Amino acid sequence: MNASDPACLDAHKRPQGAAHVSLLVVGAGAAGAAAAVAAAKLGIDAQLIDEHPVPGELMALDVPLHFGQRMARSSSNARSMEHILETSAELAEAYELGIDVQLGVCAWGVFPATPACAASPLLVGLADAGRSWYVSCDRLIVASGARDLCIGFPGWEKPGVMGAQAALQLMRRYDAFTGSRMLILGGGALAVEVLEAARQKGVTVAAVVDVETPPEADESAARIRETGVPHYPGHLIEAAHGGLAVESAVIVGLDEACRPRAGSELTLGCDTIVLAIGTVPNIELLDTLDVRLDFEPSRGGWIPRCAPDGATSMPSVYAAGDCAGLGAAAAEEGRCAAHAAGTSLGRTGPRTPRAARAHTADASVPRARTWMRAQLAVSGLDVPVCQCEEVSRRELIGLRPPRYLGTCEAHSRARDLRALGADGPLNQDQVKRLTRAGMGPCQGRRCREQIQILLEAVGDAKPGTIPLARYRPPVRPLPMAVLAADEEAAALRDHWVAWFNISTQWLAHWEPKPVPLPAPGQTPLVGESE
Ligand SMILES: Cc1cc2nc3c(=O)[nH]c(=O)nc-3n(C[C@H](O)[C@H](O)[C@H](O)COP(=O)(O)OP(=O)(O)OC[C@H]3O[C@@H](n4cnc5c(N)ncnc54)[C@H](O)[C@@H]3O)c2cc1C
């Protein structure tokens, strides 16, 4: 490919008016804010963006977190913006240093310089509630944190069921949580964090329910006992009940093999059920960039392979904080990444912070597997796994086409996971295309990991052997009005599929298609090469 490539975004075909910054930091949590502050102190022209506060319409779609309709109507107003600033000392420092901080702005895609895209070297798609635009940058630090890991149960699609990260954001960052009686599912520090936030906000906690039975000396269990909130270790939620929303939950005791104990069912009144089973690193932007990923169960699952300074396998792109693996010192990683980016830009400070890669093991991955095993034993297969596309566990593992297509043809019924596995290694993307699971507006944020865990459980595969479904830009659902307003130049409109760099799924339409060779003795079908 060269400058005459018709698909190439040369200087004349760049998105109109893309501003340029030396460093863009995505995510203004502990890691991102520390990175932006460190970069500013090195004299680097940095921009720091964060998608919170998100518009109410997106929250209603459970984007970017599983909010479960428990947000007040005021959640995205100016008060939320103020509250977000008040609750983050790092952000306040970033403002004081004069850093260009943009809240309520999401990064929906990153496009590296490729033969088809003359970004310099990176072009980032940004959007707020009303418009979308691009910024180009020399270096990018992704500090996008973590999101909730959900394992479903009968009734988990009802309003009132939500993730722990979403509950913490609504209670602490937005001051806009509307539940009044909460049941917490999960264990460890995450469950305790939700419990403490709820008590501070005056929310009654009905109980904490945990599949595992922690040892007597366990710190989190001791903290739960201290609060006097009923604690049910060795229990599982059997179902959530209610009319339009959650009104109660039935929990059940488990034996050593995670099977339900007859007669141990208990009904608890609650309007909110918080999934505090675990979190997963937010790798979506990194994945769309084709950054090298590794499966690290003690760090939350799939994470970018990083050098000690946060450099990923993609030149000019760094990762810091929870998105680079759970359990690390986020702020220290942010500062390291900023110094590494600064050094690569020819800026060095008086003291380069030491590389921060030490971490404490995170229990999210093993805990989620235990929850799934118990759920399969207690609630079986007729439970929604993908809420957006209404796909049940049974339909997923039976590779059933979407219900709205009508009757399932015999050849589809004959297909199952075992048959697919016989063709080659199982792949979640293939399952997604056959069933639509993960294709809805929440973009798989509620089901991606649980589908992987379910496939591994049913296919008897080792953890991490089935890759997650790939992420694609835009990694946030953008209203058509936002995208439509971003009118592209005529020259840019040509060959846009190549610009999006979906090389594994597209054949360039301006190039001749390869014609498959017919098998010996076979007559090619008309249009077979299309
Ligand atoms: C229960 C619990 C207890 C903990 N206790 C401690 C402790 O005592 N001490 C300690 O050091 N750590 C502790 N941690 C860990 C600490 O909270 C996290 O490691 C830290 O907050 C992670 O910071 P981060 O910047 O990586 O992510 P976050 O703080 O989650 O920030 C990520 C930000 O990125 C934004 N973002 C994501 N994607 C996009 C996008 N596409 N566009 C724009 N913005 C985006 C999000 O809105 C978010 O604000 C604890 C964690 C838990 C769960």
Question: For 451-470, what is each residue's pLDDT tens digit?
Answer: 999 999 888 888 888 888 99
Same domain flag for 22 and 125: yes
Atom of ligand 1 nearest to the CA of 32: 25
3 state SS of 478: coil
Same domain flag for 43 and 125: yes
- Phi and psi, residue 249, nearest 5°: -140, 145
Closest CA to ligand 1's atom 30? 145
Same domain flag for 453 and 402: yes
Is 100 inside any structural domain?
yes
487/118 Cα distance (integer angstroms): 19
For ligand 1, the distance from its centroid to the CA atom of residue 146, given in whole angstroms, is 6
Percent of the chain predicted with pLDDT > 70: 84
Which of 302, 309, 355, 308 is CA-nearest to residue 325?
A: 302
Is 391 inside any structural domain?
yes
Same domain flag for 62 and 135: yes
Confidence of residue 271 (pLDDT cuts 50, 70, 90): very high
Is 355 inside any structural domain?
no
Last residue of one domain, picked from the residues 344, 366, 393: 344
Closest CA to ligand 1's atom 12? 329
Question: For 353-364, what is each residue's pLDDT tens digit?
Answer: 766 666 888 999
The full 3-state SS of 1-32, as one line of letters, equals CCCCCCCCECHHHCCCCCEEEEEEEECCCHHH
Is 156 inside any structural domain?
no
Which of 285, 44, 13 is CA-nearest to residue 147?
A: 285
For ligand 1, the distance from its centroid to the CA atom of residue 324, given in whole angstroms, is 11
Same domain flag for 324 and 385: no
> Over 90: is that where the pLDDT of 333 sits?
yes
> Over 60: is that where the pLDDT of 265 sits?
yes
Atom of ligand 1 nearest to the CA of 194: 1
123/107 Cα distance (integer angstroms): 11
For ligand 1, the distance from its centroid to the CA atom of residue 190, given in whole angstroms, is 12
The full 3-state SS of 455-477, as one line of letters, equals HHHHCCCCCCCCCCCCCCCCCCC
Tell me which of 499 and 203 has the higher pLDDT: 203
Atom of ligand 1 nearest to the CA of 279: 53
Question: For 375-434, what is each residue's pLDDT tens digit?
Answer: 999 999 999 999 999 999 999 999 988 887 777 777 777 788 888 888 888 889 999 999
Question: For the chain, what is the domain count?
Answer: 2
Last residue of one domain, picked from the residues 428, 448, 470: 470
Same domain flag for 126 and 34: yes
For ligand 1, the distance from its centroid to the CA atom of residue 459, given in whole angstroms, is 33
387, 446 Cβ separation under 8 angstroms: yes
Same domain flag for 386 and 440: yes
Q: Using CB atoms within 10 Å of the CB of residue 481, give its burial: 0 to 12 exposed, 13 to 18 middle, 19+ buried.
A: exposed
What is the CA angle 78-84-88, rounded to 5?
Answer: 150
Q: Supply the range of the domain harboring residue 391.
A: 381-470
Question: For 479-514, what is each residue's pLDDT tens digit?
Answer: 888 877 766 666 666 666 665 555 555 555 556 665
Question: Ligand 1: does its nearest atom lie under 6 Å from the Cβ of 91?
Answer: no
> Over 50: is that where the pLDDT of 4 sits?
no
Is 79 inside any structural domain?
yes
Question: What confidence score (pLDDT) does residue 402 get?
Answer: 82
Is 234 inside any structural domain?
no
Last residue of one domain, picked from the residues 344, 363, 390: 344
State the CATH number of the domain containing residue 432.
1.10.10
Question: For 122-154, what is each residue's pLDDT tens digit?
Answer: 989 999 988 889 999 999 999 999 999 999 999
Closest CA to ligand 1's atom 23? 30
For ligand 1, the distance from its centroid to the CA atom of residue 425, given in whole angstroms, is 34
The full 3-state SS of 391-423, as one line of letters, equals EEHHHHHCCCCCHHHCCCCHHHHCCCHHHHHHH
